[in-house]
Amino acid sequence: MAISYPLAIPNTNSIVQFNLDAQNAVAYSQSPFTFAGQAHAYAGQIWQLDVTLKPMRRSQAEPWISMLTSLRGQFGTFLIGDPLACSLLGTATSATISGSVGDNSVTATINGSLLAGDYIQLGSGNNATLHKVLVDLTSSGTLEIWPALRADQSSASATLSNTVGKFRLASNSISRPSDSRGIYTISFSAMEAL
């Protein structure tokens, strides 16, 4: 069977550290004389990811090693989401999102509530994008999300549980050290695939 991207990760039970960082493209300059500053926010917003897996024996490590090797460095993509945020903090059972590419404020029609810190996913597979809710929304209205929409959305159904985004490795090499006891320690960095 041919490898088809984006790949699914083997499991989330092996993840012991998951750092999902929000990167913003902002220019800031400060006067060396008055210390007054000026900031300019550009459109760039991207997820950065660092993952550490628990120490594993070869039989447990090989599915991860094979998946990471299958990516062929930065060429392939994979789907991953925050393993500790598989369900909502809010009570929403459904949500549809409308907005234009680049919008951080979108129109949401929801059944229930979305709370700050919830994740929503728009699209699936190769079009999956992961967004964080920034402000509580207890009824349909304007929803503040990060990052901004990657594509125009018109009443797009949002995934509310087990949300994922599409990522690619941050490097073309993967280290998979093992010790004399046959224990593998695997970690990798990735960035959102735009």
Over residues 125-165, the pLDDT tens digits come to: 999 999 999 999 999 999 999 999 999 999 999 999 999 99
Structural domain count of the chain: 2
Distance between CA atoms of residues 114 and 131, nearest Å = 12
Q: Identify whether residues 157 and 176 lie together within a single domain.
A: no
Predicted model pTM: 0.91
* Same-domain check for residues 115 and 151: yes
- The dihedral through the CA atoms of 75, 78, 81, 84 has a sign that is negative
Q: What is the pLDDT of residues 12-35, one digit of tens each?
A: 889 999 999 999 999 999 999 999
Verify that 141 and 171 share a domain, yes or no.
Answer: no
Question: Element (H or E) spanning 61, and its range?
Answer: helix 58-70
Domain that holds residue 3: 1-25+40-81+166-194
Does residue 123 sit within a domain? Answer: yes
